[in-house]
Chains A and B, each alone.
Chain A
């Protein structure tokens, strides 16, 4: 009878891999769409929050001190200063406001002399800087000029130094930094992609077959209900995994673009060992089986694919919220109890793997509990396949 389980798995896989439409929408499109979307988002965001290296900032200044001009140029800021009279300030403010100019700086006439002698009557000179917060270039010009001025002021007072002549004050290892970035994002993305993969196929395979009357054709054969339930769960798990892998590849390929990394600092998976990958594969597969079991049960209750998709939505929101919870906190939870909570355990386990700080016992517990929950889900599905109320109710 084991062969009946295999027959169902073969049929489901054959159907999926020979249906071009399904193959494109479930396997190719998710990864491709994510890659294009994230790449576009990354480009758009870097354009919104930062300027090109070659951008030439236009700054008008009244009484521009030679020291500030020199410091600005030394800072690497590509700036073109235009010196103006006080009388032109009002007109230049309009230029900044209307994006024709990036910055207006108004210095006191005797700026350099006053900062050397702490100024007349002990008062400090005031610099007026006008910018346009709605313009990325103007905002960045303001920030960079503020940095130049703050640094200059610090050098003048120089009561103490911090990290003078020390280049590598940040002692974090490169792999730890990469792990921190990945562990904050990847568990959420993975859990969403895996859930989406399951959602794309499970309602169609369970509620769809019920709606079309094709599952009843299987139920009048000598095949046991549990064979059908296991066959469906495993085949859907494999297909959801394929869909999840597609999304994962799309995400990973587009992550450097999304995070605004240049070619030299591109993402690398070299930080992970073979054991890390093996743990990750088992965690993902056990999670997929659990998600498939949950969605299949909901789908078996539904009378149509449409109804199943609607009924699965609350579960999707819960899973997403659990995924978001993994973005906060400093690494994975230590307590064993967290690794018994469905879905949350997977998020914590993935977070631990990506941050390279995990406890093997917790990971093993996650896999075992996921398989146990999936087994319970499959048992429930078996009972549902045998229930006339569930399988044959019309309204």
Chain B
């Protein structure tokens, strides 16, 4: 299969502020967020990064989205390095995370047009795609309502659609179903599968085992910034459930459940 994303030996360390040291109850001034992470994702697959909070999932995705730079290692998307050509990478990916929000004053309609223009999409193509996506997610109903007045689910739908205005080949979703009601979560889940059908590569981070089991082709389990295992969902869930497999690796990597 064709490798669309290659991640090699990524390392990232953060400096902890006094406030963060107090919160994490440590005297260390630096924290290793990811330590030599490597994995690949193939064209047309959904790759899941599974891990507990603080395992390094979001840091990995932020590096892929070029929001932060790795201390060491690199990642390539379609042969383009995130270190060397971050602007080009940003044109290739769609990125959705809970930390990235839409300006509350604007309507989904305005923001869709705004981000389409930022991605350099011509008006006709943007209008056609908007009609299709707004219809699929039911955004037509609230296209002219300000983001501030939308429910969490509606906001998530709008964020999702706006993150893919430019029809990217690689879509990176950080905890896409977090905080959603069951109906909206289902719409998002179905959409992930639909993206796969269109040949898109989806990189997904989550701590929800059922979501991994439902949509992922391959899974990487991250524990304390290291890749514990990276394999197909089929292999990982052959004898055990995803949850059991996760805790098996968690304990094997020296994780202490009581610590958390």
Nearest Cβ distance between residue A383 and chain B, in whole angstroms? Answer: 14
Residues of B within 8 A of A217 (CB): 100-103, 162
CB atoms of A3 and B117 under 8 A apart: yes
Nearest Cβ distance between residue A180 and chain B, in whole angstroms? Answer: 46
Task: Tell me if A's interface is mostly helix, strand, loop or mixed.
Answer: helix
Q: Does A321 contact B (CB under 8 A)?
A: no
Contact flags B199-232 to A (C-beta < 8 A → 1, else 0): 0000000000000000000000000000000000
CB atoms of A221 and B115 under 8 A apart: yes
Q: Does B72 contact A (CB under 8 A)?
A: no
CB atoms of A221 and B118 under 8 A apart: yes
Q: In the complex, A394→B91 CA distance in Å?
A: 27
Q: Does A266 contact B (CB under 8 A)?
A: no
Residues of B within 8 A of A313 (CB): none
Q: In the complex, A19→B107 CA distance in Å?
A: 13
Q: Does B120 contact A (CB under 8 A)?
A: yes
Known A-B contacts A222-B87, A222-B120; A393 and B17 likewise in contact (beta carbons under 8 Å): yes
CB atoms of A395 and B100 under 8 A apart: no
Residue in contact with B17 in the complex, picked from A7, A216, A395, CB distance below 8 Å: A395
CB atoms of B19 and A220 under 8 A apart: no
CB atoms of A212 and B95 under 8 A apart: no
Known A-B contacts A395-B17, A395-B19; A220 and B118 likewise in contact (beta carbons under 8 Å): no
Q: Which of A202-235 contact B (CB under 8 A)?
A: 209, 212-214, 216-224
Nearest Cβ distance between residue A389 and chain B, in whole angstroms? Answer: 8
CB atoms of A15 and B100 under 8 A apart: no
Residue of B nearest to A391 (CB): B67
CB atoms of B20 and A212 under 8 A apart: no
Residues of A within 8 A of B66 (CB): 220
CB atoms of A219 and B106 under 8 A apart: no
Residue in contact with A220 in the complex, picked from B65, B104, B106, B117, CB distance below 8 Å: B65
Range, interface on chain A: 20 to 34
Residues of B within 8 A of A214 (CB): 100-103
CB atoms of A220 and B100 under 8 A apart: yes
Contact flags B86-103 to A (C-beta < 8 A → 1, else 0): 011011010100011111
Residue of B nearest to A10 (CB): B114
CB atoms of B101 and A222 under 8 A apart: no
Known A-B contacts A220-B95, A392-B68; A11 and B114 likewise in contact (beta carbons under 8 Å): yes
Known A-B contacts A212-B101, A224-B87, A395-B23; A219 and B67 likewise in contact (beta carbons under 8 Å): yes
Q: Which of A50-76 contact B (CB under 8 A)?
A: none
Give the size of the chain B interface in residues (CB under 8 angstroms).
33
Residues of A within 8 A of B91 (CB): 222
Q: Does A388 contact B (CB under 8 A)?
A: yes
CB atoms of B20 and A394 under 8 A apart: yes
Q: Which of B99-157 contact A (CB under 8 A)?
A: 99-106, 110, 114-115, 117-120
CB atoms of B120 and A19 under 8 A apart: no
Q: Does B177 contact A (CB under 8 A)?
A: no
Q: Does A4 contact B (CB under 8 A)?
A: yes
Nearest Cβ distance between residue B118 and chain A, in whole angstroms? Answer: 5
Residue in contact with B20 in the complex, picked from A7, A218, A391, A395, CB distance below 8 Å: A395
Q: Does B69 contact A (CB under 8 A)?
A: yes
Contact flags A131-170 to B (C-beta < 8 A → 1, else 0): 0000000000000000000000000000000000000000
Q: Which of A81-96 contact B (CB under 8 A)?
A: none
Residue in contact with A221 in the complex, picked from B20, B23, B119, CB distance below 8 Å: B119
Residues of B within 8 A of A218 (CB): 118
Residue of A nearest to B23 (CB): A395
Q: Which of A283-338 contact B (CB under 8 A)?
A: none
Residue of B nearest to A393 (CB): B17
CB atoms of A216 and B100 under 8 A apart: yes
CB atoms of B17 and A213 under 8 A apart: no
Residues of A within 8 A of B104 (CB): 212
Nearest Cβ distance between residue B254 and chain A, in whole angstroms? Answer: 27
CB atoms of B17 and A4 under 8 A apart: no
Residue of B nearest to A225 (CB): B87
Residues of B within 8 A of A221 (CB): 90, 115, 118-119
Q: In the complex, A15→B67 CA distance in Å?
A: 25
Complex A-B: 27 CB contacts under 8 Å: A4-B118, A7-B114, A11-B114, A216-B67, A216-B100, A217-B101, A217-B102, A217-B103, A217-B162, A219-B67, A220-B65, A220-B66, A220-B93, A220-B95, A220-B100, A221-B115, A222-B90, A222-B118, A222-B119, A223-B118, A224-B87, A392-B62, A393-B17, A394-B20, A395-B17, A395-B20, A395-B23
Inter-chain pairs besides A15-B105, A212-B101, A389-B15, 15 sampled, C-beta below 8 Å: A212-B103, A212-B104, A214-B103, A220-B67, A220-B90, A220-B93, A220-B95, A221-B90, A221-B115, A221-B118, A224-B87, A388-B68, A391-B67, A394-B20, A395-B20
Residues of A bordering B, CB below 8 Å: 3-4, 7, 11, 14-15, 19, 209, 212-214, 216-224, 388-389, 391-395
- A-B interface, 10 closest residue pairs, ranked by CB to CB distance from nearest: A395-B19, A388-B68, A222-B91, A213-B101, A217-B100, A221-B118, A220-B95, A214-B103, A222-B90, A395-B17
